[in-house]
Amino acid sequence: MGKKGKAVGRIYFAHPSSGERCYMCMLLNFVKGSTSFECIRTVNGVTYPTFKVACYALGLLDDDREWVDCLSKAAVWATGNELHNLFVTILIFFHVSNVPELWKTHSQILSEDMLHMQRKRFQFPTLQLTTTQTEAYALVEIESLMHKLGKSLKDIDGMPQPDSSLTQDIGNRLLKEELNYDRADLKILHKKYLHALNHLQKIAYDAILHSVQHDEGKLFFIIGHGGTEKTFLWNTIASKLRSNSMIVLPVATSGIASLLFPNSRTTHSRFRIPLDVTAESTCEIKHGTQLAELLQKNSLIIWDEAPMTHKHCFEALDKSMRDILTRYEDSHSKPFGGLTVVCGGDFRQILPIIPQSERADIIDASLNSSYLWYHFEIFELTQNMRLHRKGVDEVHAGKIASFNR
């Protein structure tokens, strides 16, 4: 900036995914004395139709050899889903000069598993698809991954768009994801887990399953300190219900805890709970959406690390579920619309964090201060299974050492 006369302001950054805005910003850093948009696109006396073409003419854009090599090498060992995720990552987070060419070059390897997926989906082992059809299904899969990151192929300049008819044909993707399990493997896994439950875990397990199977819509809270294997109980229940083609939605307050469950999410991500939650808040779930349909067909919600969550989050979900669930009679008058909900955690650990608050404020924000708390049945796990199994392992090791001597 000069001290006198006119001053040039800062040129703001434009992400590569913003298309022409990005290329215009790039040109503004090199083209001097521009007086119009046409002047910016003029290189060596030639006015180009787009900013991107002008960038090529000025030599500001390199080729995409780096991304071509990256996808080609990954195709040797990566699965179809991993390739799709890699392709989406490149599109969103890196600068690709020629997106249509990158797709054209790798459309075949990105579409290789589509035939297998559609045969499995339609239960039609002899199904045949043309190259155009497999590429169309691949675009649908890529668009789905883009949506999870809050993006769309429409945001990528020059990228082909998925066929809308195929998108409608696929139906509720959220619902299909929650039903896409190998039921035979889950039955074997459940049998193994069930035999490993201790007495207190088995009591809670039986009560929860009875409520789900008889549509009782009860609320349960499993209290247990670290080592009592609450997560093991959640996985046992989930494997039982999923092996019977029932939907279970496991969620956790923290992202780390959500990684302990298959296909789990954080509570705010799954239920669209507002970040700035108040007593009047509801979840951002609209009737007729895929998430609303998923909740209507859901059988159980498992909410881990519940004591960390502000009571208004539970109450927001409660109000939304009473409005959304229509399969139960008097759903408006039942907690969570009549759906069975299991919460777990330890009130002796982290409670809701309230900035600049006193102890009374934190207690008032906890779940056990909510109007919902009086509907919960409490089960307590007291046996530390980590120490128990460690002791068993030490005994076995001692026997083996004695035998060797």
Task: Classify residue 135: in a domain, yes or no.
Answer: yes
User: How many independent structural domains does the chain possess?
Assistant: 3
Q: What is the mean pLDDT of residues 315-333?
A: 85
Domain boundary among 7, 31, 58: 58
pLDDT at 372: 94
Is 333 within the bounds of a domain? yes
Name the domain boundary from 115, 148, 170.
170
100 and 32 assigned to the same domain: no
Domain-located, residue 392: no
Are 109 and 253 in a shared domain? no
pLDDT bin (cut points 50, 70, 90) of residue 395 is: very low
The DSSP H or E segment spanning 250 is strand 247-252
Domain that holds residue 32: 16-58
Top pLDDT among 129 and 121 is at 129
* pLDDT value at residue 3: 52
Residue identified by tokens 């249509």 is: 100
What pLDDT is recorded for position 210? 94
Q: What is the Cα–Cα distance from 96 to 175, expressed in whole angstroms?
A: 34
Asked whether residue 202 falls in the same domain as residue 146, the answer is no
pLDDT digits over 17-56, tens only? Answer: 566 777 788 788 777 777 888 888 888 878 888 887 787 7
Question: What pLDDT digit, counting tens, does each position of 52-105 carry?
Answer: 778 777 777 666 777 888 888 888 888 888 999 999 988 888 778 788 888 988
User: 261 with 309, same domain?
Assistant: yes
* pLDDT tens string 350-365: 888 888 888 888 889 8
**Helix pair 51-58, 20-28: axis angle to 10 deg:** 40
Residue 226 corresponds to which tokens in the numbers above?
A: 């670290």
Statement: residue 343 has pLDDT above 90: yes
Is the residue at 229 inside a domain?
A: yes
pLDDT at 171: 54
Segment 144-166 mean pLDDT:
79
pLDDT above 60 for 2: no
**Does residue 190 sit in the same domain as residue 95?**
no
Is 405 a domain residue?
no
Domain contains 345 = yes
In a domain, 110, yes or no: yes
If asked whether residues 251 and 290 sit together in one domain, one would say yes
The CATH number of whichever domain residue 214 belongs to comes to 3.40.50.300
Hey, is 268 helix, strand or coil?
A: helix
Residue 290 pLDDT grade (very low, low, confident, very high; cuts 50, 70, 90)? confident
d(C-alpha 71, C-alpha 69), whole Å? 6
State whether 234 and 116 are in the same domain.
Answer: no
User: Looking at the predicted structure, is the pLDDT value of residue 109 above 60?
Assistant: yes
Same domain, 52 and 69: no
- pTM (whole model) above 0.85: no
* Mean pLDDT of all residues in 377-382: 91
Q: Tell me if 10 is assigned to some domain.
A: no
